[in-house]
Amino acid sequence: MFPKPVENRSVLVRLLYKLSLPVALFVWLLPLLAIFMTSIRPASDIATGNVFGIPSTFQMLQNYAEVFAKTDALKYLTNTMLIALPTMVVSVALACLTGYALAIYKFKWALPLFFLFVAGNFVPFQILMLPVVDMSNRLEIFNTVPGLVMFHAAFQTGFCTLFMRNFMKALPFELIESARLEGVDEFKIFWHLVLPLVKPAIAALCVLIFTFIWNDFFWATVLLSDDKSLPITVGVRTLNGEFVQQWHLVSAASLLAAVPPVLMFFIMQKHFIAGLTLGATKG
């Protein structure tokens, strides 16, 4: 199944690999690098057309400090937390329940129901914009954080269910059967037996969902308009006025906004990789 490890290949292939890796890495990081260079430039460089060259002066500290001085960046970051964390908890919790039901119980509609969850993932969510806005208007949850969390949770639960169901399906069914034979209550099986076994999946899912929601720009733009509840992704945009675009500050703010998910990734790296390859190997 696995491709031949690089170290076992011929010298030429290894050399090619070693040469192309830094190039690929550089190309991959080029946009990020450009944003970083813009974020340490003075505004005068952009005004005079020096957009890709060496900055005339390095203003890293000033620019990044200005982001915090000029916008409520801290408030926006807090708002993002207030949106991302509840969404993560709600959708992962729901997915554990639905995943358990779809994986463990054998009922007629289990498979069609599962396909419904899967199919939901293939609907491009942008086309749902108008119905969602209309619905949130009628429910009077437009422009509220709980409203946004509800929609996020609803959209993410489908993906989470797919993930959890497959993971639970891979558990040895004999475990559950023997617990049932012992007369253990169904909820206790779920709580004390299955949940501890799927902990790695829960952790991985949490990291994934947190990052998805953190990076969301679309729904926050569509469903929130009040400055008190804007997340950081939308808040960054306020640095651009009606006429004047302050690209150096927007770049700095965008990079700042990307820091927490990156940190989270490194802290939870083990789970994250495990999550991506879950079910890839069947033991």
Binding site for another protein (CB under 8 A): 42-44, 46-49, 70-71, 137, 139-141, 144, 146-147, 150, 221, 225-228, 230, 234-235, 237-245
Contacts of 279 (CB under 8 A, 6+ apart): 166, 167, 170
How far apart CA 87 and CA 85 sit, in angstroms, is: 5
Long-range CB pairs of 134-141 (<8 Å, 24+ gap) are 136/223
Residue number with CB closer to another protein (228 or 270): 228
Residue number with CB closer to another protein (14 or 70): 70
Residue number with CB closer to another protein (44 or 121): 44
- How near is the Cβ of 108 to another protein at its closest, in Å? 21
Secondary structure (3-state) at 41: coil
Secondary structure (3-state) at 143: coil
- How near is the Cβ of 61 to another protein at its closest, in Å? 18
- How near is the Cβ of 87 to another protein at its closest, in Å? 14
- How near is the Cβ of 126 to another protein at its closest, in Å? 16
Report DSSP state, residue 277: T
Of 121, 156, 148, 124, the residue nearest 219 (C-alpha): 148
- How near is the Cβ of 169 to another protein at its closest, in Å? 24
Residue number with CB closer to another protein (9 or 237): 237
Residue 224 corresponds to which tokens in the numbers above? Answer: 């929130």
Contact 149, 260 (CB under 8 A): no
How far apart CA 105 and CA 121 sit, in angstroms, is: 23
Query: What DSSP string runs through 43-56?
Result: HHHHHTT-SSS--S
Residue number with CB closer to another protein (11 or 244): 244
Residue 73 corresponds to which tokens in the numbers above? Answer: 């960046």
- How near is the Cβ of 42 to another protein at its closest, in Å? 8
How far apart CA 259 and CA 67 sit, in angstroms, is: 14
- How near is the Cβ of 201 to another protein at its closest, in Å? 23
How far apart CA 83 and CA 131 sit, in angstroms, is: 21
Residue 49, Cα to own-chain centre: how many angstroms? Answer: 35
Contacts of 37 (CB under 8 A, 6+ apart): 52, 55
- How near is the Cβ of 46 to another protein at its closest, in Å? 8
Residue number with CB closer to another protein (235 or 261): 235
Residue number with CB closer to another protein (47 or 280): 47
Residue number with CB closer to another protein (44 or 178): 44
Contact 231, 216 (CB under 8 A): yes
